[in-house]
Amino acid sequence: MKQIVMTKHKIRNKSKTYLSACDNAEAGNNIKHEMRDMKDAFVQKFKLFCH
């Protein structure tokens, strides 16, 4: 459980960088395979912001 919380925290911190850089590829590639569904939603979110 602790690992999941830490991972979410990392994503939250990184999302600021992705938002300013509009870097969809990096946003997708840096999220673990175990979180594939979240990754898909995450990438879609940035596509909306960037395009």
CA torsion 12-21-46-50 (nearest 10°) is: 150
Q: Which domain holds residue 25?
A: 2-50
What count of residues does the chain have?
51
pLDDT at 31: 56
Backbone angles phi, psi at 30, to 5 degrees: -90, 0
**Residue whose token pair is 């673990």:** 32
pLDDT at 5: 52
pLDDT at 43: 80
pLDDT at 7: 53
pLDDT at 3: 55
Could you count the other beta carbons within 10 Å of the beta carbon of residue 15?
14
Which residues in the chain show pLDDT less than 70? 1-36, 50-51
The count of domains in the chain is 1
pLDDT at 20: 55
Nearby residues of 3 by Cβ (< 8 Å), 6 or more positions away? none
**In the structure encoding, which two tokens stand for residue 11, read together?**
């994503």
